[in-house]
Amino acid sequence: MTAHDAIERLREIDRELQLLEHASALLSWDEETYMPPRAIEERSEQVALLQGIIHERLASPSVAELLARAGASPERPSGDPALSESEGAFARAFFRKHGREARLPADLVIELSKAATLGQAAWRGARKRSDFSSFAPHLRKLVALTRRKTECLGYAEEPYDALIDEYEPWMKTSEVRSIFSSLEPRLARFVAEIGAARQVDDGFLRLSYPTDLQVRFASALLSGMGFDGERGRLDVSAHPFTTTLGRDDVRITARYDAGYLKTGIFSVIHECGHALYEQGFSEEIRGSLLASGTSLGIHESQSRLWENVIGRSRPFWSHYLPELAKLFPAQLSGVALDSFYRAINRVEPSLIRIEADEVTYGLHIILRFKLETALVSGDLAVDDLPDAWNREMGELLGVKPDNDAEGVLQDVHWSFGAIGYFPTYALGNLYGAQLFAAMRRELPGMDGEIARGNLAPILAWLRARVHASGATLTAGELCEKVTGETLNPDYFLRYLEEKYRPIYDL
């Protein structure tokens, strides 16, 4: 069997794995949207069964054998030099995915999944009662299992490497630490400077905005951005998300708040940014494991670039505000573009990450990164976590939670063992700003097109430069290829300065 034959056989296996993944994703999408509540028990069994089958196939010795025949090894994950570039990219992605599955013993996978289910249930109750102590034993268990997981997976420099690699493949903890330590003081200083300036008024965003009209505006936004409604749909869920159920089926959900206009609009733009990535993979990789975001950081760059950089820009609203005001004349007809623009970009240190603006957001992530790396290394005990959280909030953002529900218990991630995930949110902002700077260089007339409501050149640029290749290039390779350099936080900081100094008259 030649290396090419091995790749062919692996492609057939991959295709079936994709079909199973999409079937499993459909069950989960339904669970979050339309499933009647009492269906949950058998639904969990259905998903667990499919995930078990996927794990077994992916980790199987026959896959290991085929990867070896393709020449893939830790030193050379892209396999035999005789393979074409696209075969090599496929081998590298499959080798990494198989390796992570095969290195985890079945008993650990089962223990982790049980601890995650129990942890999440305990977290829900603990958050409701704002009682960290009832969640602490679960988190202790999850941290211990996570440490064991890092030992099984292996790592280059420190255990957290094995965790972040799940979400941001090939990224090292030391790289994240160095990026964040350059970002932190500069962000903190800028937030303080804005805090001392006169606050902008956003009261008119908090009037009554009936959600049926918000939904109507959302679908205008989707078609304006280039979302393909023949290959996807928009629904409602408690927590907005994007999921891919097939080559031609990318679903998004949004959440609307009749008393706060920002929630619905920006959740729709954000999720649509994710969906455009998923709808934009090239023909050659469609339906394969390469048809996926290359990392969560790059995925988040797409959602945040649309949501914040484009969707909260003045040209964007010079086109869309009149349309929005037609739907809500009583609330918005007297509001000038400039007031609207300032209001949607209001900056305010707050306790809750998911409500944070784009300037303070990174500090919420840096806090979580510091704490979770310390938990994994053993430098921080779970019992000391709430105090550490409150102290860091005070230092980084100058605010202190009154209780654990609006502090250490606010996010779901740790309760199901997703440690290593948080940094990707902030990396998304950084990648997004750097990609946008490259886009601006190549599309000099962009602002004029946006102001005319013509977003097609932006989507075409993103399609060609970012979306089409899917996971063929790693995040690092993509960043260098498109922007000419490795990830550099200066782009994001410059973008913030240029945007927010005028907004706050600084």
**Catalytic (active-site) positions:** 271
How is residue 242 annotated by DSSP? Answer: E
Residue whose C-alpha is closest to residue 396's, from 373, 365, 372 = 365
Of 29, 24, 31, 30, give the one whose Cα is nearest residue 47: 24
DSSP 400-456: --SSGGGTTTS-SGGGGT--S-THHHHHHHHHHHHHHHHHHHH-TTHHHHHHTT--H
Identify residues 15-54 at the interface with Mg ion (CB under 5 A).
Answer: none
For Mg ion, which is the closer residue by CB, 88 or 297? 297
Q: Which is nearer to Mg ion, 295 or 303 (CB)?
A: 303
- Which CB sits closer to Mg ion, 303 or 469? 303
| DSSP code at position 464 | I
Assigned token pair, 189: 């200083």
Least distance from Mg ion to the Cβ atom of residue 303, Å:
4
What lies within 8 Å, CB to CB, of 111 at 6+ separation is 145
Degrees, nearest 5: CA angle 149-152-154? 105
Give yes or no for residue 429 binding Mg ion (CB under 5 A): no
Q: Tell me how far apart the alpha carbons of residues 461 and 336 are, in angstroms, rounded to a whole number.
A: 31
- CB neighbour list of residue 378: distance below 8 Å, 6 or more residues apart: 147
The alpha carbon dihedral of 191, 193, 199, 202 has a sign of negative
Q: Report the alpha-carbon distance of residue 450 to residue 316 in Å, rounded.
A: 6
Residue 110 Cβ, how far from Mg ion at the closest point, in Å?
29
> What's phi and psi for 233, nearest 5 deg?
-155, 165
Task: Compute CA 233 distance to the chain's CA centroid, rounded to the nearest angstrom.
Answer: 19
Q: Are strands 232-236 and 242-246 parallel, antiparallel or unpaired?
A: unpaired
d(CA 236, CA 32) in angstroms, rounded, equals 9
Site string for Mg ion, 290-329 (x = CB under 5 A): -------------x--------------------------
φ, ψ of residue 251 in degrees (nearest 5): -105, 140
Contact 47, 27 (CB under 8 A): yes
Please identify, using beta-carbon distances, which residue of 288 and 303 lies nearer to Mg ion: 303
326-to-217, 224, 340, 502 alpha-carbon distances in Å: 10, 17, 15, 28
Which CB sits closer to Mg ion, 303 or 474?
A: 303
In the complex with Mg ion, the residue whose CB is nearer, 306 or 341, is 306
Q: What is the total residue count of the chain?
A: 506
Choose between 303 and 429: whose C-beta lies nearer to Mg ion.
303
Q: Considering beta carbons, is residue 90 or 369 the nearer one to Mg ion?
A: 369
DSSP string, 199-226: PPP-GGGGS---HHHHHHHHHHHHHHHT
Place of tokens 């959740």: 267
**Residue 126 contacts by C-beta under 8 Å, 6 or more apart in sequence?**
132, 134, 135, 404, 409
> Which lies closer to Mg ion via its Cβ, residue 300 or residue 404?
300
Q: How far is the CA of 36 from the CAs of 32, 39, 42, 121, 236, in angstroms? A: 10, 6, 12, 19, 15
* Nearest residue relative to Mg ion (C-beta): 303
Check if the beta carbon of residue 139 is closer than 8 Å to that of residue 415.
yes
Of 303 and 472, nearer to Mg ion (C-beta) is 303
Question: To the nearest whole angstrom, how small is the minimum distance from the Cβ of residue 413 to Mg ion?
Answer: 13
Output the smallest distance, CB 489 to Mg ion, in A. Answer: 19
Query: x/- binding map, residues 59-78, to Mg ion, per CB under 5 A?
Result: --------------------
Q: How many chain residues bind Mg ion (CB under 5 A)?
A: 1
| Least Å from the CB of residue 243 to Mg ion | 12
Maximum Cα interatomic distance, the chain, rounded to a whole number of Å: 72
- Sites of contact with Mg ion (CB under 5 A): 303
